[in-house]
Structure 1
């Protein structure tokens, strides 16, 4: 049912999306996680295989959540200890008793399968060279190759080349003309694109999205609870004289995003 309220006068209405910011995060994370899950399934690994995921924010979090539905020996590593709290939120799905967490980056060498989601400035090629694994998966932080500086900064192929294993794959996510494939970047891309689409509709006065610079909340304030609270809100509010379904358009925009494994 459409969420409609009166505006400043009875002639103008305020419509709100039922979809929250955290729902958009989860939808994007799910696309990446499902692609990784299907790839690991294709490897036919046994129940004793240890899977190590490096990087929690936010791809790594979604991957361990999806993998924990089938696999038991999973370690999530992040240099920021407080990010362990994300495992116990709506984003993590309360993984307290399913996932081990460590801030010791050297622990990545203990995995049979290592998944690197650290992007720009993350694991170095030298660190990658120490891996002796059955499979190595890395997330490409670049989305559409539309920024030359970011493209030149990207060193994932150097990291891939340093790992001596037969199963290598890249997580590639794109579709809405963003510069990077980060979940936060893609979310802002969805919001920005939709603000423009909403404004083009007949009868719309103005619109707003409930987005802030959340990296400061997570990494500077280190307040995971505050982040979850801030994102548990309607993604959009629109002032209009002719109501329309915001959620349908949000889903259309999210559906444009595609995550695949490039071998």
Structure 2
């Protein structure tokens, strides 16, 4: 049975001297906060294109549905006609069933409600056909390492093109050398090109799941350092295997809806504050090319 102490939910451990405290935040919440940071940067850039460059954006194609792609699609779908393109057909079900909140409150001009992605009957289009990219108003490439090739990029024409940089901090020479987004940017036929850059935790890559796992790992380590803590654990597994090898979306959703962090301790503290201290360090920005 869960009891309450200073708004912290807890259970007793094997004995009444040790407590088990859990975060209110789920893994899903961590994923969504990171996605919101990326989506807000993109949204502001698109609004700037429309306002300052008088570029009309209606048709948005997002390449790659896991996990940044589906999150951005959900965020932008109520404003634009969004299609996610992914080579894996079961990603459509992942997109349809993934829960995400509306864009953060700090969208300028009070437009939050107009861009609520949870509006009924607002299904995101899905396709496996890369040929649909040509002629789009805006293409957002989230495929990272090993995604769309420079050769494929050379055959695409679009009003605006944004690519997510899979490298976060340039701290791994092999990953840096594998990154080919600059070639893709050069080859794409567009007058408006930009890069989505996300960093802040000294991770090697900038994927939403990479940041989520790093937030959990750092939070575990910080909790263990606290006086009175016996140990700390998080719901971490190899999510890509669950989605792309086992194709078990039910298992994926069950895991990400569980509490993010559990701590065995003799002293109470706010676990969510630990998690948020690392989430606050992550920042996304747009680099114009």
TM-score, normalising length: structure 1:
0.95
Match of 1:199 in 2: 224
- Alpha-carbon displacement from aligned partner over 1:8-65 (angstroms, at most 9, x marks no partner): 1111111100101111111111111111111111111436x31111000011111111
Match of 1:50 in 2: 59
Match of 2:15 in 1: 9
Contact 1:86/1:224 (CA < 8 Å) preserved in 2?
yes
The aligned runs of 1:69-218 (5 Å cut-off) are 69-71=78-80, 73-91=81-99, 97-218=122-243
Q: Secondary structure at the match of 1:35?
A: helix
Match of 1:68 in 2: 77
Between the aligned partners of 1:120 and 1:96, the Cα distance in structure 2 is 34
Q: 1:111: Cα distance to partner?
A: 1.1
Q: 1:96: Cα distance to partner?
A: 6.5
Q: 2:270 aligns with which of 239, 245, 248?
A: 245
Q: Secondary structure at the match of 1:168?
A: strand
Q: 1:250: Cα distance to partner?
A: 0.9
Between the aligned partners of 2:135 and 2:31, the Cα distance in structure 1 is 30
- How many residue pairs get aligned? The number is 261
TM-score, normalising length: structure 2:
0.87
Contact 2:56/2:137 (CA < 8 Å) preserved in 1?
no
- Alpha-carbon displacement from aligned partner over 1:190-217 (angstroms, at most 9, x marks no partner): 0111111101101111111111111111
Q: 2:250 aligns with which of 225, 229, 235?
A: 225
- Alpha-carbon displacement from aligned partner over 1:73-107 (angstroms, at most 9, x marks no partner): 22110000100012222336668643211011221
- Alpha-carbon displacement from aligned partner over 1:118-161 (angstroms, at most 9, x marks no partner): 00010000111111111110000010110000000000000000
Match of 2:109 in 1: none
Structure 2: unaligned runs, 5 residues or longer: 1-6, 101-116
Between the aligned partners of 1:218 and 1:87, the Cα distance in structure 2 is 12
Q: Secondary structure at the match of 1:81?
A: coil
Between the aligned partners of 1:184 and 1:219, the Cα distance in structure 2 is 14
Cα RMSD of the aligned pairs, angstroms, is 1.4
Between the aligned partners of 1:96 and 1:230, the Cα distance in structure 2 is 27
User: Bigger shift: 156-165 or 91-100?
Assistant: 91-100
Between the aligned partners of 1:19 and 1:74, the Cα distance in structure 2 is 29
Structure 1: unaligned runs, 5 residues or longer: none
